[in-house]
Structure 1
Amino acid sequence: MKFTGTIWRPPYEASSLLLEVTAGCTHHKCKFCTLYNDLPFKFRMSPMEDIECDLQEAQLWRTDPIAKLTARLQGIPEQKGFQRAFLTGANPFVLKAKRLLAIAELVRKYVPTVQTIGCFARVTDITLKSDSDLTALAQGGYDSLTIGIETGDDEALRFMNKGYAAADIVEQCTRLDRAGIRYNFFYLVSISGAGRGEIGAKATAAVCNQLHPQLIGANMLTIYPDSELYQEIQQGNWQEESEVEKYREIRTLIESLDIPTQFAALGVTNAFQLHGFLPEDRGALITAIKKIIDTVGEEKLRDYRRNLRHL
């Protein structure tokens, strides 16, 4: 399998077949992001022949006799076949619908056990597609996209150069709802800056409450020296929340959501893992956050952030 640079995927895609169809990000302007700084280019599409070769290799994984023997010797249960594929890259959904459908055809040809296909998507990727495109993609197996909306706070979206506004999130994800394509959201805790975290959380809840995300995943902003945001901080243009503020922000988000959804804080940016279903687990999640604030405190939480060398 061919992969370029560091490969990023959501925690819940751990069992999916990872397939590189793009590398890098078409936007690559978010002030906080350093995820694709190791690439010598901004964005690249994989040639279709490379994608087909990777799928031919993946086709053998479940039937390779050496792999089966190794699994038996290690006591690992025999795999039944991939049920899902996850296309890698910052935003493969930017590809034209025709190309995405051709990729889906190749996946079905070589790994017929795959039932659905997911990937990261930007809000602006949806804008580029017609309603008929989205319907065709849904019929082609595209489902459960992961969209880094980051926040519903327009001031923060503008400052961080996200390239869309809160109203665009609502408009474009409503189109996904109509097409039958489900989606998950990534929320970036602290993106609104010191003193504005709870404002951002309430604005984000107001956006989410108009939509149907399957899951809202919280990731805590971790700032590295090679980011544009770090330079903004050095120049006095922006200030990061304290670690305790970040947990208060998460609490406010959970309190403000009034839709049925999953809430998860499972990535490495979170010092403590949180997961539950809303509304039924709201109380337990809030209790867990209160315990973190009261018993762990700022100093230990900040130590965790300082020692997080890489995402």
Structure 2
Amino acid sequence: MAYDELDYQGMIFRPPSEADSILLQVTVGCSHNKCTFCEMYKAKRFSIKKDEVIMADIAKAAKLYKGFRRLFLCDGDALIIPQKRLIAILDEIKKKLPWLERIGTYANHKSISMKTPEELVELREHGLSIAYMGIESGDAVTLENIKKGATPERLIEMGKKIKASGIKLSVTVLNGIGGRERSMIHAKETGRVLSEMNPDFVGALSLMLTPGTSLYKDHMDGKFPVIDANEMLQELGVMFANTNLTGGLFHANHASNYLPIRAKLPDDKDRILRLINEALAGKVKLKPEYMRAL
């Protein structure tokens, strides 16, 4: 896609499942932007783009991307846009790109809390189909350490709020983010939180330290030892074993993962646990370090 045809400020990020989507930047940066492991939006000061810029981009997208069926609202947290403005954006998208089958956005606990249940239903009725929520961990200590700004209970509450509106919920968790000391606690508690939240999709990524982040500095200073591939896989196995979804999909097939996993729960649970155990026993090869990427 010739994304330079639209107005983009800085680097643009999207979930792996939005690889074939039109990327419409409606906000710049992340409204939280404090997580210790993330550098994606550090160079940006959060702002909401002017309506005239957004509407012009929608008109351009309608001409350029007729073959695309999905659209993703960038940057880090489009859901924080005031309700009337966000409804107007969704309506303009529907008017100019009526062939779209899905519209998605990132959402964090803060932006979800700022919408009433009725407002979330209204957003769904105006075309918002899926929200991506990065919880990273279900362990209270780990969440505090990485400056996520929320407790496990708060994350569960906000995830359920999205689900209740009829908007699909995709949750991202991060293997290795608890470090070696809290690895198993992080795994079990994350499984518990996912089970209570019961999202439609779970994406499990594996931690890759990024230069420039405070977590990277902690690692270089010897304060945060990174777990190795086998420890990462053990952690994933415990997390997966403790995750019980009613029909949701659990993916660990991101480029950062050592062992690609795609499972529908509860149907595939036993099969995936066997696969993980076989990998730990050396019967299944893991992805080599040089092939991993963010």
Question: TM-score, structure 1 length as denominator?
Answer: 0.85
CA distance in 2, matches of 1:293, 1:88: 38
Q: 1:286 aligns with which of 262, 273, 282?
A: 273
Find out whether 1:94 has 2:80 as its counterpart: yes
Q: 2:106 aligns with which of 120, 137, 142?
A: 120
**CA drift at 1:140:** 1.4
Find out whether 1:34 has 2:21 as its counterpart: no
Find out whether 1:23 has 2:10 as its counterpart: no
Find out whether 1:253 has 2:256 as its counterpart: no
CA distance in 2, matches of 1:50, 1:291: 53
Q: 1:61 aligns with which of 61, 64, 75?
A: 64
Q: 1:159 aligns with which of 131, 139, 145?
A: 145
**CA drift at 1:240:** 1.9
Secondary structure of the structure 1 residue equivalent to 2:197: coil
Change (3 A) 1:4 1:289: farther
In the other structure, the counterpart of 2:282 is 295
Q: 2:16 aligns with which of 11, 17, 23?
A: 11
CA contact (8 A) 2:94 2:127 kept: no
Structure 2, unaligned stretches of length 5 or more?
1-5
Find out whether 1:47 has 2:34 as its counterpart: no
Change (3 A) 1:3 1:273: farther
Find out whether 1:270 has 2:257 as its counterpart: yes
In the other structure, the counterpart of 1:66 is none
In the other structure, the counterpart of 2:204 is 218
In the other structure, the counterpart of 1:209 is 195
Report sequence identity in percent.
Answer: 29
Secondary structure of the structure 1 residue equivalent to 2:31: coil
**CA drift at 1:13:** 1.7
CA distance in 2, matches of 1:237, 1:154: 19
Secondary structure of the structure 1 residue equivalent to 2:34: coil
Secondary structure of the structure 2 residue equivalent to 1:86: strand
Change (3 A) 1:142 1:258: same
CA contact (8 A) 1:122 1:148 kept: yes
CA distance in 2, matches of 1:107, 1:11: 22
Secondary structure of the structure 1 residue equivalent to 2:150: coil
Secondary structure of the structure 1 residue equivalent to 2:196: coil
Q: What is the alpha-carbon root mean square deviation over aligned residues?
A: 2.2
CA contact (8 A) 1:31 1:228 kept: yes
* Comparing 268-277 and 152-161, the one that deviates more: 268-277
CA distance in 2, matches of 1:150, 1:46: 28
Q: 1:197 aligns with which of 165, 183, 207?
A: 183
Change (3 A) 1:234 1:280: same
CA distance in 2, matches of 1:166, 1:62: 40
In the other structure, the counterpart of 2:120 is 134
Residue 161 of structure 2 aligns with an amino acid whose one-letter code is R
Residue 9 of structure 1 aligns with an amino acid whose one-letter code is R
CA contact (8 A) 1:11 1:266 kept: no
Aligned length: 288
Q: Residues 97-108 of structure 1 correspond to what in structure 2 (within 5 A)?
A: 97-108=83-94
Question: TM-score, structure 2 length as denominator?
Answer: 0.90
Larger radius of gyration: 1
Cα deviations across residues 133-169 of structure 1 (Å, max 9, x unaligned)? 2221122121220100111100000010001110101
CA distance in 2, matches of 1:62, 1:303: 36
Q: 1:110 aligns with which of 90, 96, 109?
A: 96
CA distance in 2, matches of 1:285, 1:49: 49
**CA drift at 1:301:** 6.0
CA distance in 2, matches of 1:62, 1:114: 10
**CA drift at 1:205:** 1.5
**CA drift at 1:287:** 2.7
CA distance in 1, matches of 2:240, 2:160: 22
